[in-house]
Chains A and B, each alone.
Chain A
Amino acid sequence: MSKSSVSLETPAELKREPLVANNHSIKWVTENVCSIVQSPTPKWWLLAMCITSPIALIGLICIVYQISNGVGVWGENHPNGWAWDITNFVFWIGIGHAGTLISAVLFLTRQKWRTSINRAAEAMTLFAVVCAGIFPAIHVGRVWYAWFLAPIPNTNAIWPNFRSPLLWDVFAVSTYFTVSLLFWFVGLIPDLATLRDRSKSRIAQILYGIGALGWRGSNKQWRHYEMAYLLLAGLSTPLVLSVHSIVSFDFATSIMPGWHTTIFPPYFVAGAIFGGFAMVLTIMLPAAQIFPQLADMITRQHVDKMAKILLLTGSIVGYAYLMELFVAWYGVNKFEGFTFFIARANVDGKGWYQWSYWIMMFCNVISPQIFWFKKMRANYIAVFIVCQFVNVGMWFERFTIIVTSLAQDFLPSSWGHYAPSTTEILTFVGTFGIFFSLFLLFMRFLPMVAISEVKGVTPEADPHHNHPKH
């Protein structure tokens, strides 16, 4: 661009799309969000609970069966010491990344569009981490001794092994859950106070009142509150990166071909954000349809932005996949070469789980590429379908990593196929029951949208509203 082309006129103001559409008032926000909680229980909600809670119950029964009989009721074997259990763990923990990313990272970077979705995303995070936490807990052979993992001073002076990435996992995941829970709860305080004040039943008043921690909305309280929120956001941000990095260390620090890869931490984090956003959209898109009153808060703008993030993270993951192949080729290690090119990509037809690898490739790398087109990003159905691909693809990514590396490793004599058992499948299905049941309860009893934060981004809250040229 040459200097002469610079116009001396004031450039045209970029029209910023309002985050809350249709010029609603602050009161409208409160009314709308609270009405979801305070109106009588809708029929669809009961119906949904009737579906999800039995599924959750089946999952719990499977877990009891597995704990009472032994890990043998799953399909794992020698050499496949891990399979669906750790796949499901990494899958759920990955999903649990979106919430904190939206609430913490986007908060710190002043991405105000986050306000209408952060509450639901954080709740989703917590529930996903609950589901995730089930698997490492029950996958051990002797659950009743799982407390050996805790660094409890004891007379035998036996400590956990601080060299083990599995122990790092315990710390990383529990820290993440704790901080996420606090962050979510702190964000809820003003809204719980709103609900307390609006509730008519005594029980609701007491319960919301307890949660509101005596919130009165005073200036001083707001000042403390915002500082606490900021600090928690600051605490959470490194956790977004650390949790999945550490989960990836389970594999990266091992010596198994296909696990022993330095690219894992960033690749896992990108994958987690990718999978997490897909799950946020999976829940949000139907929710926005069910609750038309939220339509002006969860707008096309949100979907568009999230689709862009899917495109970005999906491409990062795709880059990582290709880089793994490159390194396997460049490294001239026959064992690694075998894992990537034969066990996974199946270039010569001898792989056992190539379908899993190619499902992963298609779902994670190819399918989000349609988001280069704005039309596709604006098409809720297209977005929803791609999100389902991503959910499936991210599960298969973990399955591919775990099972292909274990099933065919160094000595061909110890190679062995893996197939899941019914119990194993139902346990995983059961965690969806748990996840959706918890989410339904959340939608019914807590404000789905952060009322106080959304109010802050309404046109009414903008002192310059309707005065673009001040």
Chain B
Amino acid sequence: MSKRILQHPAESTTGKRYWRSLGQLQDTPEFRSWMDREFPQGAAEIQGDDVSRRGFLQFMGASVALAGLSLSACRRPLKNLVPFTKGVEWSVPGKALFFTSAMPSRNGAMPLVVTTFDGRPTKIEGNPMHPVNQGTTDVWAQSSILDLYDPQRSKGYLFGRKPSDAASFEKALGELLKGTPDGAGLAFLTDGTVSPTQERLRAEVLKKFPKAVWASFEPNGSELEASAVSAAFGPGHHAVPVLQKADIILTVDRDILGVEGDIAAIRGFAAGRKADKAGTKMNRLYVVENRYTLTGGMSDHRLRLAASRSGAFLKALALQVAKLAGDAGLAKAASELKVAETKIKDRWVEECAADLVAHKGAALVLVGQRQPAAVQALGFAVNAALGGLGTTLELRKTAATPALSISALAEELRKGKTSALFILGGNPVFNAPADVRWADAQGAVKTVVHLSLESNETSVAAQWHVPAAHYLEQWGDALAVDGSHMVVQPVIMPLYNGLSSIELLAKVVGTEPDALALVQKTFVEAFSTQADLTSFWAKSLKAGFVEGSRASAVTPALQVDAVAKACAEASAVRVVENTFELVFITDSKVDDGRYANNGWLQELPDPITKLTWDNAALLSPAAAKKLAVETGDVLKLSVGEKSVEIAALVLPGHADDSISVAVGYGRTEVGSVGRKVGVDVFPLLTAAEGRFRVGVTAAKTGRKYALAVTQEHGALEGRGADITRQSTKQEWAENEANPDYFLKMGIDAHAPANFSLYTNPPLDDIHAWGMTVDLNSCIGCAACMTACQAENNIPIVGKEQVIGGREMHWMRTDRYFASEGGDADEPEMVSQPMMCQHCENAPCETVCPVNATVHSEDGLNVMAYNRCIGTRYCANNCPFKVRRFNFFDYNERSITSLYKWNLISDKGMPESLQMQKNPNVTVRMRGVMEKCTFCVQRIQEAKITSKVHAGDSGVQPRVPADVFTSACAQVCPTDAIVFGDLRNPDSKVAKLNKDQRSYRLLEYLNTQNRVSYLARIRNPNLKMPDAARAGSASKDAHGHHGEHQQPAAPKATNGGHA
């Protein structure tokens, strides 16, 4: 294929080196055709409209950029910009260009579309054309853009911790490889991401160096699941749950909607839980878990149970299922399983099993990846007995070739015969299990080459550190969750000359390290059957993935005897009475520590604990009482000779004999953001014991530690019926005919009709922007918060400021625990995204003395930053407390020096971080108020676009329905947030707004919110012992005139509604 390579200016030797042009990418024919293909997200959903769909889209597709308006707010870095002497095709200054790409990850790469302005990527969106995520993404994908621009990224080669250069490395590499012509003494360690090109190069490496050793290690991976699958179905398979096909789902110690799942699972679950109207079919979720997770939060029935006792639960369930389904094989396998003596609520198991069996073929049981392989294998046997194989549980051939585990590699290294070890990504010195003793093993190798984005613990222990290219910087390929082949397309030249892993492997093999050529070669080999490969490549690149390359399901039979054998051979999980089990959880933010230097992630509140900038030992209120600790008391957790000291965080709904703690914190060799954040608990994690350990003792140290929790108060204080409305499927069906059913709950049930003293100017624009948030779909993952942060240039403020209550997130996800009678052991959890409600009768607007916050005709509550003097009166008068004040110059000052006298401290944002900023959004200074704008820059872009399209008439035509959306709505994995034009009857938001479940917060205040919430519906099994509890978070003590003070928190008498 022909490709015009634009000449870049020669690399400056003195100036900063990261500014490069995107020209190389911008003018390729595939982009041109891709652009012609009318790309913008959501465009396919245009319905009845004023402009022709085709015309509109052509126009939108070419240059546009839903998120681009002008450069009026952007101050470009002056130093390194070279004006285009020749215009680069497609590039319109100030307009965004979009490129498809993919973010590699262990669960399957995330299909992406990257927004770029003038050659710099600023925002990441999901690829709307890919069936897996359909335009949505997650927290990690959203925040990966910040990793690209991390000013403390590795910027050069290091040899023995001293700066070196690429040429020296090449030379050293050549000598290394010359020493072993057959590869003896060569070892490779990769992470768990699957890249076809890397797989191909691995084969080439092993062909050239047949004696080389290849291992792979993913600290938060699922090795036990892999062995369970291979025990149950034979090797070479992996199991994929298909949640959209499941009517009854039981998860046992598996956070499938959170860190132990993927976006396909989340979307599948949400698809099966749509509550469009009363009586529609929706799935039912049973959750057995040791701590509250996002999955537990969505459950209809939840049983808190220590992870070490989950096997006992599964055994009881399997026996019950076997009995009801008449499955002797399952009964045999289950009875072979040795488990810890555990008291399980019989009726819970019986009714749950009965419900599963009653939905044979549409039932799914998911077992935690930390559970022993035998327990997981038994879980597969239960699914087989429930007829779920091939429907709710799909099996596929594994794409990755097996590799050595890190333990085996460590043994190999310790033999002292390895002369060179290549570590491609990862940080095993920090996050390998303690009993692997990786640091020793690595120390036994003469030369260790570590390829990494940052100089981390492993880098400093290695001889060579090679800076890695970020995935947005270099060509690569990956497989999505559904197995489809995706090209990882770079959108910027490597900022610091980093190498990608395939380039490094190519160097090892001795081929040309041209990433694009390598990726294309893999592509050609994989799709050689295509007639016209050039156009097929171009087509795949513009789609972002290869259509039709989805991995197909296989249907191996369950080998029930093998499962029984595995169960019989597995040793029982011990339970040591009067001690705790310690469950190592994957952190939803820093993962295994790799994202420790990402400020957005560090400051993102954990969806459950709302903890930022730390990890903590989570324990139940009863356990805390027993240990006489409260949140913030430092605990000493000991097992064997090892111990760690970590602050306790009391979490309602936690199992009493269990403590959970997130791994990945306490990094030592890391940039300034991640330094001294949290406690490293990897020393307690062993490969032998796995990801939960029993017999852990906890003791109070007497020390206190300040935890930065963004939500101080988690109880609803009897306000559930006002704030988070819920009902059950059954009660909703009874009230189907009552349009006021969800409207008249809580105080709105007896508040008099509203009237206003003010007459506001009419909101008579042709648009009326509004939003709905479906509480039934929202899982509380907080992807919306990160998307908002990336889109709207929201700064981070640091731990100290978060403790002070000054985090700047424009939207937050409120998380409440509530239960009847205030029972903190078994509460319900409710998540509720909260952002500016864009009140038509806005309390903030009347009180601003300088008219800095006013209303637009299309119904936005807008902020004029330039006019704001910062009285904070608006924030005080906001009933939702969604306004955010710049207490300091968070953009200009380092978060560690905010209190230093302004006049003598350094100011200014690192230039690389400036590159991430959205040029269409003002970067706010200190002393001004800010808040959700409904992504006004996107609204304006869409309006301008449609107005330009209207031509000379000068009349603003109506923007067609749902052609664009806000950042939070766009990212939402469950499509819970919907933004659009309320005045356009074709828009999704207008339709949802008329839903019976739609209600607005604090209606009695007459604020006339433009955001409405759709009440949550729980789907309890009425035969379950805890069925009456469902929806209790929203039950309200509203005894009409008898009730005055609403004193007690999560308390409810039976209120007639809900």
| B-contact bits for A128-139, CB 8 A (1 contact / 0 none) | 000000000001
Decide if B899 touches A256 in the complex (CB within 8 Å): no
Whether B29 sits at the interface, judged by CB under 8 Å, is no
Whether B849 sits at the interface, judged by CB under 8 Å, is yes
What CA separation (Å) do A334 and B1045 show in the bound complex? 6
Whether B926 sits at the interface, judged by CB under 8 Å, is yes
Decide if B834 touches A164 in the complex (CB within 8 Å): no
Q: Which residues of A lie under 8 Å from residue B847 when comparing CB positions?
A: 163-166, 253-254
Q: Which residues of A lie under 8 Å from residue B704 when comparing CB positions?
A: none
Q: Which residues of B lie under 8 Å from residue A76 when comparing CB positions?
A: 872, 887
Q: How far is the CB of B822 from chain A (nearest CB, A)?
A: 11
Q: Which residues of A lie under 8 Å from residue B871 when comparing CB positions?
A: 139-141, 166
Decide if B927 touches A70 in the complex (CB within 8 Å): yes
What CA separation (Å) do A316 and B60 show in the bound complex? 68
Interface centre among A338, A414, A416 (most CB of B within 10 A): A414
Decide if B872 touches A164 in the complex (CB within 8 Å): no
Q: Which residues of B lie under 8 Å from residue A65 when comparing CB positions?
A: 901
Q: How far is the CB of B831 from chain A (nearest CB, A)?
A: 10
| B-contact bits for A325-365, CB 8 A (1 contact / 0 none) | 00011101111011001100001101000000000000000
| A-contact bits for B864-900, CB 8 A (1 contact / 0 none) | 0001111111011101110111111100000000111
What CA separation (Å) do A347 and B160 show in the bound complex? 66
Binds A, one of B266-274, B470-478, B642-650, B713-721: B713-721
Chain B residue with minimal CB distance to A334? B1046
From known contacts A256-B877, A413-B713, infer whether A141 and B884 are also in contact, taking CB-CB under 8 Å.
Answer: no
Decide if B1045 touches A411 in the complex (CB within 8 Å): no
What CA separation (Å) do A73 and B897 show in the bound complex? 12
From known contacts A142-B928, A413-B814, infer whether A164 and B873 are also in contact, taking CB-CB under 8 Å.
Answer: yes
Binds A, one of B70-78, B185-193, B800-808, B969-977: B800-808
Chain A contacts with B in 401-421, Cβ cutoff 8 A: 406, 408-417
Decide if B928 touches A410 in the complex (CB within 8 Å): no
Decide if B1047 touches A342 in the complex (CB within 8 Å): yes
Decide if A140 touches B851 in the complex (CB within 8 Å): no
Chain B contacts with A in 769-784, Cβ cutoff 8 A: none
Whether A82 sits at the interface, judged by CB under 8 Å, is yes
Decide if A77 touches B805 in the complex (CB within 8 Å): yes
Whether B668 sits at the interface, judged by CB under 8 Å, is no
Whether A68 sits at the interface, judged by CB under 8 Å, is yes
Decide if A77 touches B804 in the complex (CB within 8 Å): yes
Q: Which residues of B lie under 8 Å from residue A433 when comparing CB positions?
A: none
Decide if A412 touches B898 in the complex (CB within 8 Å): no
Decide if B834 touches A140 in the complex (CB within 8 Å): no
Chain A residue with minimal CB distance to B929? A141
| A-contact bits for B816-844, CB 8 A (1 contact / 0 none) | 10000000000000001010000000010
Q: Which residues of A lie under 8 Å from residue B843 when comparing CB positions?
A: 254-255
Q: How far is the CB of B1055 from chain A (nearest CB, A)?
A: 12
From known contacts A256-B877, A342-B1047, infer whether A164 and B747 are also in contact, taking CB-CB under 8 Å.
Answer: no
Decide if B805 touches A413 in the complex (CB within 8 Å): no
Binds B, one of A153-161, A282-290, A292-300, A460-468: A153-161
Decide if B1045 touches A329 in the complex (CB within 8 Å): yes
Q: Looking at chain B, what size class is its interface with the partner chain?
A: 35 or more
From known contacts A166-B849, A335-B747, infer whether A68 and B902 are also in contact, taking CB-CB under 8 Å.
Answer: yes
Chain B residue with minimal CB distance to A341? B1045
B816 interface neighbour in A75, A332, A412, Cβ under 8 Å: A412
Q: Which residues of B lie under 8 Å from residue A342 when comparing CB positions?
A: 1045, 1047
What CA separation (Å) do A411 and B722 show in the bound complex? 9
Whether A69 sits at the interface, judged by CB under 8 Å, is yes
Main secondary structure of the interface of B (DSSP, over half): loop
Q: Which residues of A lie under 8 Å from residue B1041 when comparing CB positions?
A: 332
Decide if A254 touches B901 in the complex (CB within 8 Å): no
What CA separation (Å) do A132 and B977 show in the bound complex? 46
| A-contact bits for B331-364, CB 8 A (1 contact / 0 none) | 0000000000000000000000000000000000
B876 interface neighbour in A72, A81, A413, Cβ under 8 Å: A81
What CA separation (Å) do A335 and B876 show in the bound complex? 16
Chain A residue with minimal CB distance to B814? A413
Whether B512 sits at the interface, judged by CB under 8 Å, is no
Whether A71 sits at the interface, judged by CB under 8 Å, is yes
Q: Which residues of B lie under 8 Å from residue A457 when comparing CB positions?
A: none
Decide if B881 touches A79 in the complex (CB within 8 Å): yes
Q: Which residues of B lie under 8 Å from residue A337 when comparing CB positions?
A: 1044-1047
What CA separation (Å) do A395 and B758 show in the bound complex? 33
Whether A80 sits at the interface, judged by CB under 8 Å, is yes
Q: Which residues of A lie under 8 Å from residue B747 when comparing CB positions?
A: 333-335
Chain B contacts with A in 926-953, Cβ cutoff 8 A: 926-929
What CA separation (Å) do A176 and B758 show in the bound complex? 28
| B-contact bits for A174-210, CB 8 A (1 contact / 0 none) | 0000000000000000000000000000000000000
Q: How far is the CB of B861 from chain A (nearest CB, A)?
A: 14
Whether B712 sits at the interface, judged by CB under 8 Å, is yes
Whether B577 sits at the interface, judged by CB under 8 Å, is no
Binds B, one of A5-13, A47-55, A143-151: A143-151
Decide if B1045 touches A338 in the complex (CB within 8 Å): yes
Q: Which residues of A lie under 8 Å from residue B717 when comparing CB positions?
A: 338, 412
Q: Which residues of A lie under 8 Å from residue B834 when comparing CB positions?
A: 411, 413-414
Q: Which residues of B lie under 8 Å from residue A160 when comparing CB positions?
A: 849-851
From known contacts A78-B881, A334-B1046, A350-B1049, infer whether A413 and B812 are also in contact, taking CB-CB under 8 Å.
Answer: yes
| B-contact bits for A305-337, CB 8 A (1 contact / 0 none) | 000000000000000000000001110111101
Decide if A411 touches B880 in the complex (CB within 8 Å): yes
Whether A170 sits at the interface, judged by CB under 8 Å, is yes
Chain A residue with minimal CB distance to B881? A414
Q: Which residues of B lie under 8 Å from residue A440 when comparing CB positions?
A: none
What CA separation (Å) do A112 and B334 show in the bound complex? 100
From known contacts A70-B889, A332-B1041, A342-B1045, infer whether A75 and B881 are also in contact, taking CB-CB under 8 Å.
Answer: no
Q: Which residues of B lie under 8 Å from residue A408 when comparing CB positions?
A: 713
B848 interface neighbour in A161, A250, A411, A417, Cβ under 8 Å: A161
B869 interface neighbour in A142, A254, A332, A412, Cβ under 8 Å: A142
Whether B1002 sits at the interface, judged by CB under 8 Å, is yes
Decide if B1047 touches A161 in the complex (CB within 8 Å): no
From known contacts A256-B876, A337-B1044, infer whether A142 and B870 are also in contact, taking CB-CB under 8 Å.
Answer: yes
Q: Which residues of A lie under 8 Å from residue B926 when comparing CB positions?
A: 70, 72, 141-142
Decide if A158 touches B867 in the complex (CB within 8 Å): yes
Q: Which residues of B lie under 8 Å from residue A80 when comparing CB positions?
A: 805
Decide if B868 touches A142 in the complex (CB within 8 Å): yes
What CA separation (Å) do A414 and B712 show in the bound complex? 8
Decide if B846 touches A71 in the complex (CB within 8 Å): no
Whether A167 sits at the interface, judged by CB under 8 Å, is yes
Q: Which residues of A lie under 8 Å from residue B81 when comparing CB positions?
A: none
Whether B465 sits at the interface, judged by CB under 8 Å, is no
What CA separation (Å) do A78 and B804 show in the bound complex? 8
Q: How far is the CB of A43 from chain B (nearest CB, A)?
A: 38
From known contacts A148-B869, A161-B849, A332-B1043, infer whether A254 and B877 are also in contact, taking CB-CB under 8 Å.
Answer: yes
Decide if B719 touches A334 in the complex (CB within 8 Å): yes
Q: Which residues of B lie under 8 Å from residue A81 when comparing CB positions?
A: 872-873, 875-876, 885
Q: Which residues of A lie under 8 Å from residue B885 when comparing CB positions?
A: 71, 78, 81, 141
Chain B residue with minimal CB distance to A77? B805
Chain A residue with minimal CB distance to B1042? A332
Decide if A71 touches B711 in the complex (CB within 8 Å): no
From known contacts A140-B927, A142-B868, A142-B927, infer whether A166 and B873 are also in contact, taking CB-CB under 8 Å.
Answer: yes
Q: How far is the CB of B864 from chain A (nearest CB, A)?
A: 9
Decide if A348 touches B1048 in the complex (CB within 8 Å): yes
Query: What are 26 pairs between A and B in contact, CB < 8 Å?
Result: A69-B888, A72-B899, A72-B926, A77-B806, A78-B884, A80-B805, A141-B868, A141-B871, A146-B869, A161-B849, A163-B846, A164-B873, A167-B849, A328-B1045, A329-B1044, A330-B1044, A332-B1043, A334-B722, A335-B747, A342-B1045, A409-B879, A411-B814, A412-B716, A412-B719, A413-B814, A417-B712
- Beyond A72-B887, A78-B807, A410-B719, 8 extra complex contacts between A and B, CB < 8 Å: A72-B926, A77-B806, A141-B869, A161-B851, A170-B849, A332-B1041, A413-B834, A414-B814
